[in-house]
Amino acid sequence: MFYRSPRLFLRPAWPEDCQDIWQGIADEGITRNLATAPWPYTRDHARDFVSLLRDPAYPAFLLTQPSEDGAVIGCAGLADHGGKAELGYWIARPYWGQGYATEAANAVLEIARMLGHHQVVASHFLDNPASGRVLRKAGFRPTGRVEPHHCLARGEAANAAVYVRDLDEDSQMPQRAA
């Protein structure tokens, strides 16, 4: 599956992307905010990531710039979280603070809606408030719950704020500029 947002091209990750994925995510400041990425993150981990078989109802996307060089900005997608779709994403450090995470989240939410998901959950570790701001900008609302989530890079559980986004509420869908 492919998707084009205003500044991003979302596409599957391919074996030839391993180096770019590794360069983008091999940063402890990124992996420590993800549940399933190990630290240190190696080229072998990137190779394993691109070879994963994915359920079409829970796609993952490489976030690239729609230009000739197609720079890898990060990754975003959906995972099965106890029968609910869960949003996850990471952005390479050179692209932080430029709105790419919010744009990617909105694109994945639009895809989730097209795939028939009615609700998407997400969370962020409490020591990563920037991710909470991204989720709120993408229309997620805090549930008020804080739950321990295992973090592979940290080697332990860390408290995470839980959010939810109801996709059936048209008023929550971000409006695109004409």
Residue with the two structure tokens 């959010």: 163
Stretch among 25-34, 72-81, 164-173 having the lowest mean pLDDT: 164-173
Compute how many other C-beta atoms are within 10 angstroms of the C-beta atom of residue 174.
14
Instruction: Note the pLDDT of residue 74.
Output: 98
Residue with the two structure tokens 């402890």: 28
Q: What percent of the chain has pLDDT over 70?
A: 95
Instruction: Read off the amino acid at residue 119.
Output: Q
Q: Which CATH architecture has domain 3-172?
A: 3-Layer(aba) Sandwich (3.40)
Q: Is residue 173 pLDDT above 70, yes or no?
A: no
Measured between alpha carbons, how far is residue 17 from residues 20, 52, 74 in Å?
5, 14, 11
When pLDDT is averaged across residues 146-157 and rounded to a whole number, the result is: 97
Domain boundaries, the chain: 3-172
